[in-house]
Amino acid sequence: MGVIPIIIGIIFLAIILIKQVDQYEKGLMFTLGKFTGEKQPGWRIVIPIIQKLQKVDIRVKAVDVPDQEVITRDNIPVSINAVVYYKVVDAEKAILEVENFFYAVSQLAQTSMRNSVGEKTLDELLQKRAEIAEQIKLELDAKTDPWGIDVQALELKDVIIPEQLKRTISKEAEAEREKRAVIIKADGDRIAADNLAAAAQKLNEVPGAMHLRTLQAVNDLSSDQSNTTIWMLPIEVLETIKSIGTSLGQK
């Protein structure tokens, strides 16, 4: 018997008997249909027909939860979607306790999301997305613990509301901004009026203050030659000036 057939036979047996478990996997060994142990990464001998090696990926997985139509607590229809990040921490439970853990997590995430969002109003949903996502994540994590799965994060990606409701919210926000602008302007006018009243009272109480304020105003006006100043004088002063002019003319 030649050496080459022996080598070929060994290689053939190695292909049949040896299975590789990668570093990011856990191997579950079944002998005659019964779970007989967990295999770590590396080459493992598996006897055909008698034994079966099932690999479980233990890396973090992302589940894209499709759009869910939900009615909020204040009876507003919204559409939401999310993404769930989870990891298998117990490969034995993930295989033995649930048929398809990937599908099960997806369906459970959809149900938990609909239930949690249905208990919130639209304002709460828009303003507290992070808190609601954390609440759904905790609920989902508690339900997947018996499956050996750890839910590490859940993020609400989009909250889609009807176009008509968007216009209503936009009008409401615009009206709120106008309201704040009117209030701010009214407060400014009130403060300015209070300051003017206090200044007028102060000028009235101090002798000569009004004259000084008048001279200051005249000085400010004279700084620009393009300004035209109109003076309003009592009739008595005008008559006195007129009489002086007449007297000077007669002389």
Query: Does the residue 96 lie in any domain?
Result: yes
pLDDT tens digits, residue range 204-247?
Answer: 776 666 666 666 666 666 666 666 666 665 565 566 666 766 66
Cβ–Cβ < 8 Å for 95, 54 = yes
Distance CA 187, CA 13 (A): 91
Query: Does the residue 109 lie in any domain?
Result: yes
Cβ–Cβ < 8 Å for 122, 76 = yes
CA dihedral 215, 216, 220, 222 (to 10 degrees): 20
Given a cut of 60, is residue 190 above it in pLDDT? yes
What's 139's domain CATH number? 3.30.479.30
Same-domain check for residues 112 and 32: no
pTM > 0.85: yes or no: no
Q: Which residues contact 197 (CB under 8 A, 6 or more apart)?
A: none
Query: Does the residue 42 lie in any domain?
Result: yes
Does 233 or 189 have the greater pLDDT score?
Answer: 189
State the pLDDT at residue 198: 78
Same-domain check for residues 39 and 71: no
Structural domain for 11, as ranges: 3-57
Cβ–Cβ < 8 Å for 59, 89 = no
Residue type at position 54: Q
Query: Does the residue 238 lie in any domain?
Result: no
Same-domain check for residues 135 and 49: no
State the pLDDT at residue 240: 66
Give the torsion sign (CA, 179, 182, 188, 194).
negative
Same-domain check for residues 53 and 132: no
Query: Does the residue 79 lie in any domain?
Result: yes
Query: Does the residue 183 lie in any domain?
Result: no
Same-domain check for residues 68 and 154: yes
State the pLDDT at residue 165: 67
Pairing relationship of beta strands 149-160 and 42-45 according to DSSP bridges: unpaired
Same-domain check for residues 103 and 161: yes
Which residues on neighbouring strands pair with residue 204, listed in sequence order?
none
Mean pLDDT, range 169-195, rounded to an integer:
80
The number of domains in the chain is: 2
pLDDT tens digits, residue range 2-60?
Answer: 677 777 777 777 777 888 889 999 999 999 989 998 988 988 888 888 989 999 999 99
- Of 133, 166, 199, at which residue does a domain stop? 166
pLDDT tens digits, residue range 57-108?
Answer: 999 999 888 888 888 888 888 888 899 999 999 999 999 999 889 999 999 9
Distance CA 225, CA 27 (A): 96
Quick one: which of 36, 37, 42, 41 has its CA closest to 26? 41
Same-domain check for residues 160 and 67: yes
Q: Which residues contact 185 (CB under 8 A, 6 or more apart)?
A: none
State the pLDDT at residue 29: 92
Categorize the per-residue pLDDT at 151 as very low, low, confident or very high, splitting at 50, 70 and 90: very high
Same-domain check for residues 65 and 130: yes
Same-domain check for residues 31 and 99: no
- Of 149, 166, 183, at which residue does a domain stop? 166
- Of 166, 201, 230, at which residue does a domain stop? 166
